[in-house]
Structure 1
Amino acid sequence: MPALADRVVIVTGSGRGLGREHARLAAREGARVVVNDIGAGPDGRGSDPGIAEAVAKEISSAGGIAVASAADVRTMRGATELLDLAVDAFGTVHGLVNNAGILRDRMFANMPEDDWDAVIEGQLKATFAPTRVLAGYWRDAAKSGREIKASVVNVPSTSGLIGAVGQTNYGAAKAGIAALTVILAQELSRYGVRVNAVTPVARTRMTENVPGVAEMVAAPADADEFDVYHPGNVSPLVAWLLSEDCPDNGAVYYAKGGEIRRFAGWSYEWTIDKGRRWTVPEIDAELRARSAQTVSAAGPHA
């Protein structure tokens, strides 16, 4: 049986790249899909409803079932519109992939306030709004006695979890999405909702425009060679997390090519406890010694 048979799945930002691949695979795995995309540029400007419509038609032509939405999920109004469309078309919703996002790279000291606000809104709020609307929908359904087996898949980034120069706005938003994932997994499980995340490494409009990265993620010249950075490589993990019987909740994964890793999250590296208040000189001596030990243990390339 297909992994997503009889499931209804919303994929935001699914007009191109990763989202398109997630939507197409979900449909092939039996899901009825809501393809959501406002058709904006990578920086969040502009709109073209035909982008989502084209993917929905592509899925339908291949024998799947899909409807298109150009609702702006950066707003609660748009997120509510998206939910209403899904329920009107298919009667319910079982899964949400928060793939929508934008990028405006700039060194922090040169970053205009608008670029900060736009990326926080286009990433973090574009994850918050549809998740908040659907969380309320699933909570109310659970309280009415319905058994809910729903799944949310969010999309952080190594820019936020590890760091990347020139992406403070993007990285901060993506780190926030990872934190949101972990906390919502604890909050929403009581209603039958699982929340996980996949950090993708793939060729998209965003990576193709980054100097140095574009060359690294380019498709291989040999058509028979495995295309490590093809966005479709990430989709099977997303589909598994959307499946009804997936056991994971609160996990943050990394996916690239055929490689899957699971992030361990923030943890304590070491602890010192004097048992009473420290003085500044004592802290200076202790933490300098600790830092020297860390550098020494890491080796000459730390």
Structure 2
Amino acid sequence: MFLSSKILLRTALCLTLVAPVPVLAAEQPANPPKEMSAEAALDGVALQGNVLETMNSNGYTYLLLDAAQGKIWVAIPETQVKVGQSLAIAPGMTMFNFTSKTLNRTFDRIVFAPGPDKGSRPAAAAEAAKPAQGGGFDAALRAEAAGAKDAAAPAEGGSDASLGTSTGSAGAVVPSSEVNVHKAAGPNSYSVGECFEQGKELNGKTVRVRGKVMKISRMIMGKNWLHIQDGTGNPLKNHHDLVVTTQEDPGEGTVVTIEGKLAADKDFGAGYRYDVLVEDAKIEK
């Protein structure tokens, strides 16, 4: 009897040691291991499949797509989508452990995309996803867009994402975060939203903007490309995320005041267009 009890106890201990321990998504690290990112990231990949599940929230449509790469959650600007519908999605960028406060839900992996792909462009999508080669400005912009995979996940609250209508520069836009940064003091000072609203009037003029550095794509064409947000601007138009070129590197997550020349409607072709761009900026912390 005693021997039988020992055997039962030892069996129970073994089962306890090998039993899987559930891990809540909220407890997982915000930034996945590099191996996970390399395997699971779908940046610049056009997706296609049947819609298994869909819901709308805060101006966006979330849908679970049964694609060749597996079952993938995708977020696009609010669109009429039905369960069972076959849908092609334009290339976007991947976020891991992204929490949507409006849905009260955390997605282990979700692709933020500009919307449905209105044409079959597999070759163009593959080309856009390639790293920059050579010295062409188009190649540099492709690298800038590819840098979106290094963006930090959006903070909880506020708009869940900012998605454009093109697949070039829109692929580099950092989703809208809950940021509240006071406007810079002094002359020629504008908020991010005002830069977009008054872009035509400010074209060619020096502006000062204060905001949080959300992402840096470093040393492309000899410049660092900063994405800054201050909580203003319209995320549905990508007018919340101001792109700034500079020689300086303030570090991601820092609040800075930038001063540079604003360029409106900057179009480099191949889908790389900026409604507003601040060039050759100086930075104050």
Q: Which has the higher helix share?
A: 1
Q: Taking structure 2 as the reference length, what is the TM-score of the superposition?
A: 0.26
Considering Cα pairs closer than 8 Å and 6+ residues apart, tell me whether 1 or 2 has the greater RCO. 1
Q: Which has the higher strand share?
A: 2
Return the index of the structure with the highest Cα Rg: 2
Q: Taking structure 1 as the reference length, what is the TM-score of the superposition?
A: 0.25
